[in-house]
Structure 1
Amino acid sequence: MQLNKTIIGMVHVAALPGTPKNSVAINVIINDAVEDARKLAKGGVAAIMIENMHDRPYLNRTVGPEIVASMTVVAQKIKQEVGLPLGIQILAGANKQALAVAMAAGLDFIRAEGFVFGHLADEGMMNSDAGELLRYRKKIGAGNIKIWTDIKKKHSSHAVSADVSVAEMARAAEFFLSDGVIVTGNATGMQASLDDVVEVQESTKLPLIIGSGLDSKNIEDYWPYADAFIVGSSFKCNGHWQNTVDLARVKTFMQKVDLLRTKS
């Protein structure tokens, strides 16, 4: 999957079977996810990523077979119905499971947290897994699936690596064979630091993806520096990640993107 100012819309899959917030059957979860994906496609996004964000509180690095199975069927159905490039993240830090789902469902990329430089996350200490993850990708023959990796990930403390700059982290991710780096704000829906974005862009040849806080008002600020933009909250009703996708909000955002493309 080539990135060229690519807009990636988020589908936040409803709470899956076995998780505390689950309240509906898997067929309802699938239908709702497909409906959100259809709205994103109709609004003009170039790719979609699915995530189990409603499965809070998240497990650290390991999720059960019920999550892997559920995310696989959701991904397969979206791919079948929408046909856009599709990726996945499984919280929290369940990168091997995400890669397994991507392999089974024929997806294009995964978003991996904790790839380089361990950090203290909401779920506890998360050690880096680049070596293990890339060996697993090799083992299952999934070399065609891109692994985009967060650096200084949101919802985390980075005190233990405070003397390591975001640029150094980006260079480490490149050295450890990441396929792209993701820069975020401190939490879901919060803007990334433009200074961090510029610093990363100048420090690595990897594709740079903005992973949080984007809307139709600030996308122009990041446009010159990033190769792709992951948009979640801004595409949802009332701008909140827990809500369903609002087609009108997607179209408004994409109109701004179309204007930026004509200026490029």
Structure 2
Amino acid sequence: MPAPKVLPDKANTLEALFPVKKPIIGVIHLKPLPGAPRYDGQDVREVYAAAVEDARRLAGGGIDGIIVENASDLPFARPNDIGPETVAALTAACLEVRSAVDVPIGITCVANGAIPALAIAKAVGAHWVRVNQWVNAYVANEGFLNGPAPEAMRYRSMIGARDVAIFADVHVKFGAHAITADRSIAEQATDAEWFDADVLIATGTRTGSPTEPREVEEVRAGTNLPIVVGSGLAPEQVPDLFKVADGAIIGQWLKQDGRWWNPVDPHRVESLMNAVSKVRTA
């Protein structure tokens, strides 16, 4: 059953970005960037070269899009503490990736750096940003976070980046949901649509943890926006999840030994895309 309309229908962002059904977006987890506690002073060109190699393996295996994130900058900074050194290095990495592959790219500036991600996306010509907590408030690993949608949408307008889409998590992983515990997942999906997200993301509880079909269905009950799986997709889960989801973002499973900090494994990319191809042609 379609969700109740809260706003006029908007164009389907997934269809606009990708010429295929059920698009797959692979994740590049960058090595630590300057300013992060785990950055050891290595030549940043090595960081960018590793990202480019991952991008080529993903695109070469048929992945439809790529999202670049500063996943190794642990512990993650709160949004207001994300510094210019992070924005500069993430921008440079994205430019290297864009020059190496032709697939659309997006940005995640963790944790919840919506405004820095929009700035980077505008600078490099990326097509979307992912924001883990778009609306309401949340107790994350970094502490209490407010949804940045009001400020971020005004910033997007101010820099002329209306063509950069918002991919927003619903019932976000990593943290406690006590503040929104009185609101169903469907209601939280409606909130994200009301605050002008373009694509919603249903996830598991941690990086690599499976997303349950029921989670996708609960998000679907509150929105008319496209929904992608944002965590834990493996080939054997594709048939069930793609009955309810419109696409997927996948990172950890595509890496060597299934560890997110390892390089992309071309054999795993091939295995996943074979499973996706069967669903697309069914």
Q: Place the TM-score, normalised by the shorter chain, in its bin.
A: over 0.9
Counterparts of 2:135 and 2:176 in 1: how far apart (Å)? 14
2:260 aligned with 1:245: no
Q: 2:197 aligns with which of 162, 166, 178?
A: 178
- Helix, strand or coil at the partner of 1:203: coil
Which residue does 2:69 correspond to in 1? 51
> CA offset at residue 89 of structure 1?
0.3
Q: Report if aligned partners of 1:17, 1:25 keep a CA contact under 8 Å in 2.
A: no
TM-score (norm 2): 0.91
Partner of 2:51: 33
Residues 225-244 of structure 1 mapped to structure 2, 5 A cutoff: 225-244=244-263
| 1:156 match | 175
Q: CA deviation at 1:175?
A: 1.0
Cα distance per residue 1:26-53 (max 9 Å; x no partner):
1110000000000000111000001111
Instruction: Find the aligned partners of 2:62 and 2:105 in 1 and give their Cα distance.
Output: 14
What is the aligned partner in structure 2 of residue 13 from structure 1? 30
**Larger RCO (alpha carbons 8 Å, 6+ apart):** 2
Aligned to 1:142: 161
Give, in whole Å, the separation in 2 of the partners of 1:228 and 1:238: 23
Q: Out of 57, 60, 81, which is 1:42 matched to?
A: 60
Match for 2:150 among 115, 131, 150? Answer: 131
Structure-2 separation of matches of 1:163 and 1:221: 29
Whole-Å separation in 2 of the counterparts to 1:99 and 1:225: 29
Give the superposition deviation at 1:203. Answer: 2.5
- The alignment yields a C-alpha RMSD, in angstroms, of 1.0
Aligned-pair identity in percent equals: 39
Alignment partners' CA distance in 2, 1:151 and 1:258:
27
1:202 deviation in Å?
3.1
CA contact (8 A) 2:212 2:241 kept: no
TM-score under structure 1 normalisation?
A: 0.97
Q: Is the contact between residue 43 and residue 254 of structure 1 (CA under 8 Å) also seen in structure 2?
A: yes
Secondary structure, counterpart of 1:111 in structure 2: strand
The gaps in structure 2 that reach 5 residues or longer are: 1-15
Shift of 1:113: 2.0
Number of paired residues? 263
Which AA in structure 2 matches 1:57? Answer: P
The CA deviation string for residues 101-121 of structure 1, in whole angstroms up to 9 with x for no partner, is 000000000001221121000
Query: Take 1:199 and 1:121, find their aligned partners in 2: how far apart are those partners?
Result: 22
Note the alpha carbon deviations across 1:147-182, whole angstroms, 9 max, x for none. Answer: 111111110100111111110010111111111111
Q: For the residues of structure 1 that align with 2:205 and 2:95, how far apart are their CA atoms?
A: 31
Question: d(CA) in 2 for partners of 1:200 and 1:128?
Answer: 18
Q: Which residue of 2 aligns with 1:2?
A: 17
Q: Which of 10-19 and 196-205 deviates more?
A: 196-205
Distance (Å, rounded) in 1 between the aligned partners of 2:236 and 2:172: 23
Structure 1 residue ranges without an equivalent (≥5): none
What displacement does 1:83 show? 1.4
Q: Determine the structure 2 residue equivalent to 1:187.
A: 206
Q: Which of residues 222, 227, 230 is equivalent to 1:211? A: 230
